[in-house]
Amino acid sequence: MEERKRHIAILGSTGSIGTQALDAVAQHRDLFEIELLTANNNASLLIEQAIRFKPNNVVICNPDKYAEVAEALKPHYIKVFAGMESVCDLMSCESLDMVLAAMVGFSGLKPVVAALKAGKAVALANKETLVAAGALVMPLAQEYGAPVIPVDSEHSAIFQCLQGEYSRPVKLILTGSGGPFLNTPSAEMDSITAAAALKHPRWNMGAKVTVDSSTLMNKGLEFIEARWLFDMAPENIEVVIHPESIIHSMVRFEDGCVMAQLSNPDMRLPIQYALTYPLRRSLDCKPLDFAELGSLHFQKPDLERFPCLGIAQSLLAKGGNACCAMNAANEAAVAAFLQGKIRFTDIPNIISDTVEKCQFIEKPDFEAIYCTNFEAFRIAEEIIGNKYAR
């Protein structure tokens, strides 16, 4: 199939997903044109990327870094903007075909909403968008005819398993590696350090998602993400721990048939698939050698040692703004943990305390979601300062 180049925006281009996406673009220059790159803070890498990929526009979200980026890109005729509002404004650019949303945390929501309202296809790596506002975001995508293509490896796996199927699955089976503390005894969980949590056994990712993986909150966020992406009732979504991370997730159909997507763990595969979808392109991924693998293992998640997954599942059942409050509390708790202010085992307690204190809204609109995020983050920081800070 001969196609026009796909014009893409990469939001969060200096992060783990963003840099790997640009690697994919560099491998397939015939397929892509970079229209826009945005970064939060990393001015020097953003400048380097802009000079290499020659986008029309660049946004540095931190306004203090604007002068540095503008100065450096002036000779290259690249327009430079500052601030999150600029990112949202640029989503309606006519030449733009697709937006890769790879920013970290709740900050991804506003630009994703702007992109969907402009009818752009969104390759979604930012799971917090659906965690906080899935009930609003997915209908918006439908209303504006904007496809949402998952980048998260588990959801990409499910998405791939559903290609060409005419029947809806009866079950989604999310796999998770279990993280670095899968076999850590309960008594040692208290003394887990940030450095230990940042060493993931299978996946190389940014700091926030790596800590989330170690608490299993990442699987909780993905559970909620799956509920909205695939419009699946929570009781039909299952989590199974699979330490080798070879099966990236599965779906089961009415007749008992299970489809799975397998590969060595490499985020470049789901990232590139989202960008080239519905086509597949070459990738220098290490092929699977089944004889070398020998066996694959599966077990139930341990909700006693990893309460975050259970919290996420019960707050999804509660509905309203509860998952949004949970997400904000988790962002505050993870930041405090990375700064050494709280213990690993304080994270779920801070989340539960915060959600309990935050006003429950049964049918929040976007405005209420933004307020909840702000309010829950504030409450979580207060709780951290008063009760948990060491």
- Which positions lie near Mg ion, rule CB under 5 A? 152-154
Residues 6+ positions from 44 with CB-CB distance below 8 Å? none
Indicate the residue whose CB is closest to Mg ion. 152
> What pairing do the DSSP bridges indicate for beta strands 148-150 and 121-124?
parallel
CB of 153 to Mg ion, least distance (A): 5
User: Which ranges in the chain belong to alpha helices (H)?
Assistant: 16-27, 43-53, 66-73, 84-90, 109-117, 128-143, 153-161, 194-197, 207-215, 217-229, 268-276, 290-293, 307-318, 322-338, 346-357, 366-383
Q: Closer to Mg ion at the Cβ: 154 or 331?
A: 154
Distance CA 150, CA 203 (A): 17
Q: Closer to Mg ion at the Cβ: 69 or 151?
A: 151
Distance CA 197, CA 183 (A): 13
CB of 251 to Mg ion, least distance (A): 16
CB of 173 to Mg ion, least distance (A): 14
Instruction: Look at residues 111, 211, 131, 11 and name the one whose alpha carbon lies nearest to residue 373.
Output: 131
CB of 159 to Mg ion, least distance (A): 13
CB of 222 to Mg ion, least distance (A): 5
C-beta separation of 279 from 337 below 8 A: no
Q: Closer to Mg ion at the Cβ: 128 or 152?
A: 152
